[in-house]
Structure 1
Amino acid sequence: MITNPFRLWIETFFIFSIILLVSGLNVMAREDASRGAAYAYYLQAIMEKSSGRLSDASNCLKSALALDPESTAILEDLAKVAVGMGNLQEAEQWAEQAIALEADNLDMKIMLARIYASEDRVTEAMELLDEVLSEEPGNQKALLLTGSVYAKAKEYPKAIEVMERAAGQKGRQSFMAHYYLGRIYRDAGNLSKAEEHLNEAIRLNPHLILVYLDLADVYRRQGKIDKAIDSCRVVLARQPHNLKARERILMLLIEEKRADEAISEFRQLKQSAQNYPVIGFDVAILCLQQKKYDEALSILEDMARAYPDQGQILYYMAIAYEKKGDLDAAIEVLESIRIDDELAVEARIRSAYLLKEKGRLDQALKLIEDSLEDRPDTKQWVLFLADLYDAANRSHDSEEILRKALEGDPDDKELLLHLAMVLDKAGQREQAIQYAKKAVEKDEDYVQALNFLGYTYAEEGINLDEAELLIKKALSIQPDDGYVTDSLGWVYFKKGENDQAISCLEKARELVPDDPLIAEHLGDAYMAKGTFGKALKAYQEALELTKESKDKPRLRKKIQDAQKAFSDMADR
């Protein structure tokens, strides 16, 4: 085994010191044998500390202190070693003993103040720091700690005043004062001063990596993104594997939606880090937003191999496949998400929706039915299954499953409203109105129930004043909801207030331009107003938008009526 030369020298010296002590040859030993032994332990402690063995160093120092209990040097080192070990309570004890023996020991007072500050004993910390600064007004360590205490308490003016004093002192700590000033000014919102002081800290000590990262943060807040990236790249030039700098650059590129650069940066990050799920996920989401589906899939598939049980990764993989038009792959991935995953509810619903879109309604129904067998109390699946039954013309099954769910939770407003809608489609409008009223009773601000009830009244041509009040209340909660705006326009139309109807319906059309029913309602209002050309255009747009074959004959009839009315008007 190769022996550390320094350790060998210390051990030899330690043995030699003991020999001297025993033999009585050492002058120190002759005067005070205990102090000589204490010195030997002290030297051993130095060796242990230099090797990183703090626990052994502490034991040696305690042995030395037992032999020389009034040595402030040993007490100081015991306090420092205890701090290094994270044992602040013990460090506090040694520092207090050292100060009791040597009242003007300013370094120990600063250390003890630092311990107090870390324990939020601010008053005691400030008392010690005031003592130090009364003795040495320019003591940089005391000034830096005082400023830090003020900054932690968000007393920024006081913190700045003290740190400016520290920065004005000549000494090797001046760059730290400027660094802290930069951080304090940043936290106080003065970004230009923060930039100034951080750059000064770099000028005084260009090797402190943290300053560049904090400067990058200041540049980001100022909107100087390229400068922020450049600041991080300085760090990478010196420390190519610095993950903080690489991740900071990547997050800046993501924030700026610079997808191509983010992808390139992420590839470099992958070479440097084994664990990159969070940042990789953010890059994949950016790729999805930028419609770079292949790049998103490449990242997500790689992550899925590393983290196969992460439902969130799989869910967004499915979205990428869906956006690419590969619905079968999307369905397969969605169905691979575990039933107990937090995204299982959304995943099964999305998978069933895609199956329905592909014309595989029976498979969609079976998927949700099977899912409910595993988790029968999942309300979202109950609601979606009711919709699927409705799409399959199984309104009785839809009604049955909702009524069964309401047996378990008769006050659930969503179940009540859903049942109302199912009953309305089944032609049981009076019952539908009763259930919608119950939903409003459970939550008087339930926008969907207010809208449904008001619109249903308008369709029936009853309670139109109440309908107007209900829908206006819904709009007060969601003022830019196009469907609710359409409902209000429809109430006005039913009341014969065509100008107000047209105003509302035109706004609704702007808010939801791809809804055929809103276009049709607007056409009806134009017809009632006598603006047949506009009515014709609205009906034609409704016909283009509708996917329901049962609605097309009605719309074609309205188009013919509008054409005739327009032609008759032109002939007059």
Structure 2
Amino acid sequence: MRILLCLLFLIPTWLFIPLTTLAQTPPIKEDRIAIQNAHDFYYSQKYSEAIEAYKALLKTPLHQHSKDAIRMNLGRSYEKLGDDAMALQSFQAVIDDDPDGSYASQAVHRIGALFRDRYQYKEAITRCRQLANKYPKTQTAAIARYLIAQYTFADGGYDEAIGSYRSFLNDFPTSPYRNSALNSLIRLCRIRHRYTDAEKLIQAELSHKPNDINLMDQLADLYKAQEKYDEALSLYRTALKQNPKNTDILKKLGELYAERGQQDLAAEQWAKIVQDDPDQAYRYQQLGSIYTSHQMYRKAVEVYETALNLSPKNAQLYNRLADVYKIQGQVDMAVNTYLRALSVVDIGYSGRDTLIQSMAEIYEGAQQKRLLEGVIDRLQVMLRAASQNPSLVLSLAEAYFYRGNLDLALRNFRRLHQLYAADRGRILEKYAQILERNKNPKAADFYQAIAELFPNTHLAWGAQMKLVRFYERWGRWDDALTVLTSMTRRNNQPSAQLLLGHVWLHGIRDPGAALHVYQALANQSLSTDEKIQIQLGMATCYILQGKSNIAEIVLRPIADGNSNFKTEAQKLIGDAHLLRGDIESAVAAYKGVLDIAMSNPLSNDSLDRIVLIQSNSDYSNKPLKRYLEAMQSDLSGDTEEALQLCQETMKEYPTALIVDDLWMLIGGIHEREARYTDAITAYQQVTVLEESSIAAEAIAKIADIYRWELNAPDKAQETYSALIQDYPESVIVAYARQQLDALMKEKAD
């Protein structure tokens, strides 16, 4: 016992400290539900809510890995909202906690990417260099040094990048980025024609990995670049001895023979690609691609046909075979190939949806139409023999679509719905989206068909929402209102209600009706973003109703906050000041928008407002204020009052600087109400005023009316041409040229 006690006294007391500490430290209890809710905000792209949730969580007990994950997502959320400083602060905190941790690695990448994504390579390099210097000999330093070399390479500093990669490889030989850095270094040496350096690097690696086929391949490519064909040939043969089934090496060996003019030897090597696996269609497809690239078209056709025997429903093979015929100018054979594919490749098979489009793209203009007419005739013959074949019905619908016969296309899409139960509307949606992208008004018919054929589905709901947006783009506000009213009766979704308020406010121009919608919606359970959108809508209604003070009370917290709607709220504050005649406060508010963001539609509108104010300050701003009254009446739906105010202002102040803007407002009202002749007359008044800064814009509006509303392409072309000739320095010239090009293309078709 005495001996035992003596031994115990000899044990250092510090060995007991960790046990005591562990005993006294309570286990960390994380709020997993709160963490998941915060992550849900982030992954739903509700970044403002995510930021608030993450900030609250960081004040609670957290395991280190949870804290790091939260800080990373917090930084990314700040990134999405454009707050670089806070994003960098979050990422830096992760690195500070553990510069060798896995989350630190992610943080270094995000710091670099924050600037790299804007092509600000020098700033990215500076930030990474600071990290490397602050945390030497850590994982953070390794990644930062690697990124320095990578960004220097991307910025075109090839020689400097070579030095950076060499330094990285010397200092961090076991880094997981070593192979990537080595490959980039070899590539750089080749770019700079430093072949000896590149060869030394590869040979050094081969000395450690003598059987590495990838290294042999790299060295052979290097020899080929220097026209050292014998050395390259020797390496490829060595690689094939180790792996005789390596199709990439067989392909490259054949290409080497082909470059030397030894076509037979090349074909012999390429043929080996299929010898060891003769029942695999993809091998024949690979061989066909090689033959095609070397203009060996007969052999290409043969191997593609062999592949199709093995895989008769492979749409990609038919496309490749048709391409071979197209290259040779054998259009009939190409068309036959496409039709053959359409008769056997079932709907839903990969690549099936590209067949008709690929066929249509053989020609353009009138030739394309003639080609598709022939295809339609042949498809109709095929359908007479197989009237219930859904693939042929779809093909006919697609052929009509690309031919431009959209009503017949839609009729056949409806027919397909009866034959092909597996379709859930995605096919029709695809073609509706194509029409929408091309701003074709027939898109409305396609979206309407989706809503009819697939009722009570998410697809139908989405189609109706897109239909409303489409009507909005084309100024068909009554149609939009009809659809939305029907939707909100069946399903009181906040998104549809918000859109309904938007249509009442900005389309029908009835602030009272819009305010009623927003107030009813405000009582529902909503996300933070939806609540803010309602507040913005209500504030706009208040502004147009002359209640600017109430509007500013609603808007100020949003403008002072950190949400996605900060800029919009600030701009509306400017509008509130402007429409109540407080010119100086309006300018200050609009400048506040420019301080938040310099290049988006809201900042552009704010800049336009500032220019309007500063360019029309004559007569002590009286004509300007009358113009603003007219604008408020127009935005509130009282167009007659707006027109009367414009006419009275011009009569009282005929030489005022704002006369051209008054005529533009008059023209806009007439155009919106389909009085196109009156609109053109009003816009023409702008063009005859001396030194009007908006004359070119007025001419563009006249040309647009001729093109889009009066279907007078010749007059539109003449007007766009006059704009380009008379106002060559105007920024609108680019738009006019674009429209002219489109008109010329339409005429050619």
Question: Larger C-alpha radius of gyration, 1 or 2?
Answer: 1
Q: Under a length normalisation based on structure 1, what TM-score does the superposition of the two structures give?
A: 0.49
